[in-house]
Structure 1
Amino acid sequence: MRVLIAVTHLLGAGHLTRAAALARGLACAGHAVVLVTGGRPAPMVSLEGVEVVELPPVRVEGTAFGTLLDADGGPAGEHHLARRRRLLLETFARCRPDAVVTELFPFGRRALADEFLALLEAARARIPRPVVLASIRDILVAPDRAAKVREAGERIAAWYDAVLVHGDPALAPLDASWPVDTELAARLRYTGYVDEGVPCPPAGERRGILVSAGSSAAGTGLLRAAAEAARGTPDLGWRILAGHGVPDAVLAEIGEGLPAGTIGRSRPDFRALLAGSALSVSACGYNTAVDLLATGTPALLVPFEAGRETEQRLRAERLAARGLAGVLPEAGLDGAILRAAVRRSLAAAPPPPHGIDLGGIDRSVAIIEALAGRTARPPVRGQSGLAGLRAALDAAADEGRRVAIWWRDDDAVAATPALDRLLALARAAACPLLVAAIPAAAEASLAAALSGADPTVSAAVHGLAHANHAPAGAKPAEFGADRPLGVRAREAASALSIARERLPADRLLPVFVPPWNRLAPDLAAALPGLGYTGLSSVPGPSVPGLIRADVDLDPIDWRGTRSLVDPEVLLDRLSRRVAEASGPIGILTHHRAHDAAIWAFLDRLLPLLARHPAVECLDPRHLFRVPAMDAPAPAWPCSASGLRARVS
């Protein structure tokens, strides 16, 4: 099944976080997902495994949701909005989805109605028509005019098959915040809360106060009160986390005089910190509430209530009514008030078991599958494994389609028997290869091996030293967002310089391959200025100035046996990608980690792919070549994402 999800977050990143979690859930179930985002980049939101198309961004100032601004803070004029609509419709036409999901619209995002309605028109005109669903959180902002309710109801009746309500009606039925008539009620599908399922550490002694103020600048008042409270009671062990929407200068001013490490930015290991805290002090956005329910952490909630915002107050009150949290008004909050409330909360009884449904991802996937009449399965002739792959390739040949394949291997440092076997396999299969080498660890023998390899073997820059700089408990990353951009940029520049010294000049491509396939967006944006022209990772957003080609078919079971993933699963997934006909297919290997089972699998797979008449094995030198301005358009998009073409 092919699914297109359209989401635009205007203030914080909560809407994008929820939509991305749903997209990853669908991808894990075997479906091809395109996530079209229309807000500013959100570095803390995981988009792994999903094709992302970024529209020219819009945002708002404060709670003025009717006044759209562009990335520079100026009015988002008709030309800007027209570019968004055009790219959205182009993506729909390319994706040919079986299901379309609009996040919040038509219950909100009325300022973007033109682009959402254009998408709905395109969906209605397509044959066969895709299933169309709205995706909303548990609680909406209460409408201030009956006309808004009527307009949303008319649009639901005219365009939508169902409304996914990502909540548990036992805690907050939709009609607690939005009028629900008989027609709307018939379309509602409660999914449970969308919990990303980040594992929590084993329960132990809880210590300290964790303050989190969301991803936008809306939590600045809470940050100031928490900093003031922390100065007066340092013995309580405060940790205060601010979102990336708070300017650095403001954060430095708020944290003046606090002990080192007390205040900082949001972290990827937030749930682990939360699970170990004696008390959480936070606003009551959707994702924060889910984290609290998942960890069972005692909570003091300060709901955001600026403008007409009623959502967080209602959610906080419903949690408080179950004994799951205390509530403190945002208005008039200062350090003294917060200190007193914290001491009361620490002395209160721990929250009871809640029984609230957190299975929103799996249930959402099941609902979409049922409505679309699809489940993840090999799409070709009922066959699986190598037979299914051959059948998929034969079908492509019968249709006159070409299937583009390309191959990347990571972690090269020296000439070894495993590298020799890799190069021999590439030569025997006549399949070009990109070898991602670790510059700081590269030995002279690697340069010699590459120089003697087949001419279609190229090299790329695999980070600097493949060193993990992520904080404890977070996923490993060498170039994540946990260190200053200047430090990371210098290291990336040094990596290219060292690679040019240690690797053959006629083999090296200025292509950056981040270790663990994790790269912070700010460094990605800086790469062109450091001399790089290409980027290869797992599917992620396009980057101006870079040719992107990603991979997402890895035969190694990294989280389990570290041997071969079930080959039937791998081959069936590959068969689906072939049938989708949606862009170059990227295969990732790690020659230093291969065992006999992995080598045997590759010995069967690569010759089959390379010798089939429907397959074109792409040479990395051509894949990452910067096109001349007057050159004809390439056969495949220059910004390519592993298994699906990406829009630059």
Structure 2
Amino acid sequence: MRQIISCDGYAPGSRPFRPAAGPARIALYSHDTLGFGHWRRNLLLATALRRLDPAPQVLMIAGMREAGAFDLPEGVDTLTLPAYGKDSVGDYRARDLDLELGELAALRAASIRAALVSYDPDLLIVDNVPRGAQGEMVQALTALRARGKARIVLGLRDVIDTPEAVRGQWLRQRNHTALRRWFDEVWIYGDPNFYNLVTEYSFSEEFASRVRFMGYLDQRERLVSAISPAPQASPYVLCTVGGGRDGARICDIFTQASLPTGHRGILITGSQMPASDRAALRARIAARGDMEMLDFTPEPLRLIAGAARVVAMGGYNTVTELLSFGVPALILPRTRPRREQILRAERLAARHLVGMIEPDRLTPENLSAWLAGPPPRPERVREMLDMSGLDCVRARAFELLYPNIRRICA
């Protein structure tokens, strides 16, 4: 198997000429069904890429209406698609529109193709799903590859699922064929010394030849422009469950837990949690007086960074937020329909970077005990994990956009 490529740098101070047609154009696609992790990861990448010199224009294609609530950097805009939802076993459906799944997929596919053909990007980064959700990227990828201008990259998080599940899924969805047909590179936002996606899943030499391990994405860059509530006057424990669609039980147990002396509790339920569950939680919190509840905040990063401890699920974006700021955290990983979150959480817990309890085993008593006990040691994260992902993304994007500029290999 070929050696996996690491990220490269380019010569400091290099200033390529601006193309006659105007700034370079980058597009980022995320399908977005459950929670906000894919969107937030792409927004972080867009913000980082805008710091290239010269700064590219960035179009984000998002699969959920909440994308419109997020603050966008200058030079970044978004196309928001009508949303998919998922049921308890992971099957797709229309989230809000009264459309059959095939009708919604066709609507989204036509919108994506029209946008990308008109925008004509120099670089397209597809998040997580090579063919797009329900194959919705196929038309656009075919059109862009036929045009021959865009460099096309697949971006993957550190862990996808169990090896057996991933190998079966990639065969069913013809992902390897998609990579051969449309993609130039695969960027993995992780550290192979923590989880080597290529070897864990026994992917082929052909796949490995496209791979660049970029490192984890340091979320501290988001704080520069974060818009969020004012800092809290007293220490607090934060509980957050992403979009919230499957987080009601965790939130309910959090509202029953005992907080450390002198601490308050802040609960973010997420906009996708059913209204009846939010109402029940609000009533429980009102009865105790040392907690408050937010339905949704587009930028929770200041709340995360300022927390004494955080109780959260184990998605990639949430975990990298916690690790980036060294916040003591208890991870309650989703275990179905995918095992991605628990695989990540188990390895982090084994290194004492986080605490972990499986959600089905969570009780008010063991949550209270964790809050009262010694915290994990997340301040050691940069000794144990490569957190240079954004620098590597910028460096490689620069090389793809401006291939004639001299670079220095790291």
TM-score, normalised relative to structure 2: 0.80
CA gap of 1:33–1:375, structure 2 versus 1, over 3 A, is: farther
Name the residue aligned to 1:618. none
Name the residue aligned to 2:343. 314
- Between the aligned partners of 2:291 and 2:166, the Cα distance in structure 1 is 47
Aligned-residue CA RMSD in angstroms? 2.9
Name the residue aligned to 1:134. 154
> Is it true that 1:112 corresponds to 2:137 in the alignment?
no
Name the residue aligned to 1:98. 122
CA gap of 1:35–1:48, structure 2 versus 1, over 3 A, is: same
In structure 1, runs of 5+ residues without a counterpart are: 377-648
Alpha-carbon displacement from aligned partner over 1:24-55 (angstroms, at most 9, x marks no partner): 22233211111122233246543333121222
Name the residue aligned to 2:83. 57
Name the residue aligned to 2:244. 216
Q: Work out whether residues 2 and 96 of structure 1, in 8 Å CA contact, stay in contact via their aligned partners in 2.
A: yes
Aligned ranges for residues 277-316 of structure 1 at < 5 Å?
277-307=307-337, 309-316=338-345
> Is it true that 1:172 corresponds to 2:195 in the alignment?
yes
Q: Work out whether residues 206 and 275 of structure 1, in 8 Å CA contact, stay in contact via their aligned partners in 2.
A: no
- Between the aligned partners of 1:273 and 1:145, the Cα distance in structure 2 is 34
Q: Work out whether residues 37 and 53 of structure 1, in 8 Å CA contact, stay in contact via their aligned partners in 2.
A: yes
AA aligned to 2:152 is V
- Between the aligned partners of 1:375 and 1:51, the Cα distance in structure 2 is 28
Give the match's secondary structure for 2:155: strand
Q: Work out whether residues 323 and 352 of structure 1, in 8 Å CA contact, stay in contact via their aligned partners in 2.
A: no
| Counterpart among 350, 355, 358 of residue 326 in structure 1 | 355
- Between the aligned partners of 2:277 and 2:56, the Cα distance in structure 1 is 43
Alpha-carbon displacement from aligned partner over 1:576-630 (angstroms, at most 9, x marks no partner): xxxxxxxxxxxxxxxxxxxxxxxxxxxxxxxxxxxxxxxxxxxxxxxxxxxxxxx
Shift of 1:321: 1.9
Shift of 1:337: 2.5
> Is it true that 1:265 corresponds to 2:286 in the alignment?
no
Alpha-carbon displacement from aligned partner over 1:256-305 (angstroms, at most 9, x marks no partner): 22316522234456333333332211111112111111211111111111
Give the match's secondary structure for 1:5: strand
Name the residue aligned to 1:227. 255
> Is it true that 1:365 corresponds to 2:394 in the alignment?
yes
Alpha-carbon displacement from aligned partner over 1:489-542 (angstroms, at most 9, x marks no partner): xxxxxxxxxxxxxxxxxxxxxxxxxxxxxxxxxxxxxxxxxxxxxxxxxxxxxx
Q: Percent identity?
A: 25
Task: Work out which of the two has the higher radius of gyration on C-alpha atoms and give 1 or 2.
Answer: 1
Name the residue aligned to 1:35. 60
Aligned ranges for residues 579-618 of structure 1 at < 5 Å?
none
Give the match's secondary structure for 2:86: coil
Shift of 1:224: 0.8
Give the match's secondary structure for 2:333: coil
Shift of 1:336: 1.8
Shift of 1:316: 0.9
AA aligned to 2:366 is I
AA aligned to 1:283 is M
Moved more, 168-177 or 180-189: 168-177
Structure with greater contact order relative to length (CA < 8 Å, sep ≥ 6): 2
Shift of 1:18: 0.6
AA aligned to 1:12 is G
CA gap of 1:198–1:51, structure 2 versus 1, over 3 A, is: closer
Q: Work out whether residues 154 and 183 of structure 2, in 8 Å CA contact, stay in contact via their aligned partners in 1.
A: yes
Moved more, 367-376 or 97-106: 367-376
- Between the aligned partners of 1:87 and 1:94, the Cα distance in structure 2 is 11
- Between the aligned partners of 1:238 and 1:321, the Cα distance in structure 2 is 27
CA gap of 1:42–1:225, structure 2 versus 1, over 3 A, is: farther
AA aligned to 2:117 is A
> Is it true that 1:46 corresponds to 2:46 in the alignment?
no
Q: Work out whether residues 156 and 187 of structure 2, in 8 Å CA contact, stay in contact via their aligned partners in 1.
A: yes
- Between the aligned partners of 2:255 and 2:85, the Cα distance in structure 1 is 28
- Between the aligned partners of 2:386 and 2:84, the Cα distance in structure 1 is 33
Name the residue aligned to 1:159. 182
Alpha-carbon displacement from aligned partner over 1:180-216 (angstroms, at most 9, x marks no partner): 2211111111122223413499xxx993322111123
Q: Work out whether residues 70 and 298 of structure 2, in 8 Å CA contact, stay in contact via their aligned partners in 1.
A: no
> Is it true that 1:340 corresponds to 2:361 in the alignment?
no
Give the match's secondary structure for 1:129: coil
Q: Would you say how many aligned residue pairs link Structure 1 and Structure 2?
A: 364
Q: Work out whether residues 99 and 372 of structure 1, in 8 Å CA contact, stay in contact via their aligned partners in 2.
A: yes
CA gap of 1:180–1:76, structure 2 versus 1, over 3 A, is: same
Shift of 1:95: 1.0
TM-score, normalised relative to structure 1: 0.52
